[in-house]
Structure 1
Amino acid sequence: MTKTVKLQDAKAKLSQLIREVEAGETVIVTRHGKPAARLVAVEPEGQSGPVRMAIEALRDIPKIEDLEFERDRTPWGDIELDFD
């Protein structure tokens, strides 16, 4: 869930906002009504987030030059087209 707070309120309630972020909340801080910053929890060392997991999955895909393909050399034969 995302919560939006004004910069002035964020400065006054920073400790409370940090506790909320640690609990899973995302906080958007606005300045003059426009988003200026996002507070999110830091991932503990060694834990993988969704982006890191996606990168690791992509690295596990074999490279094209490592793949072997075999061509099917079976003749197709005659192809009949019926336009009736």
Structure 2
Amino acid sequence: MTKLVKVQDAKANLSQLIREAEAGETVIVTRHGKPTVRLAVVEPEPETGPVRMAIEAFRNVPKGDIEFERDRTPWGEMDLDFD
């Protein structure tokens, strides 16, 4: 269902209109009786950072074609003097 709302009413009831848009209702704000703006839910953008890219790369590797070996190199000596 589409709900038409005047700008003045939208300013006074913005929180309620946002809740209605989040619930799936189409909310259109009008100015001088003409549709001007539509309230819409923002869809989250897919993650495209380096971690997400690495995860996707590993998902596409056929099983059995990759081997992992633990790096047993010592991290070095740690000095824990609390004096």
TM-score w.r.t. length of structure 2: 0.52
The aligned amino acid for 1:40 is A
The CA deviation at 1:15 is 0.3
Question: What residue in structure 2 maps to residue 28 of structure 1?
Answer: 28
Q: Distance in 2 between matches of 1:5 and 1:20?
A: 12
Over the matched positions of the two proteins, sequence identity in percent amounts to 80
Q: Distance in 1 between matches of 2:42 and 2:25?
A: 12
Partner of 1:45, secondary structure, is coil
Return 5+ residue gaps in structure 1 as ranges: 47-84
Structure 1 residue ranges (4+ consecutive) displaced by more than 3 angstroms after TM superposition? none
Question: What residue in structure 1 maps to residue 37 of structure 2?
Answer: 37
The CA deviation at 1:45 is 3.2
Question: What residue in structure 1 maps to residue 14 of structure 2?
Answer: 14
The aligned amino acid for 2:12 is A
The CA RMSD measured in Å over matched residues stands at: 1.0
Return 5+ residue gaps in structure 2 as ranges: 47-83
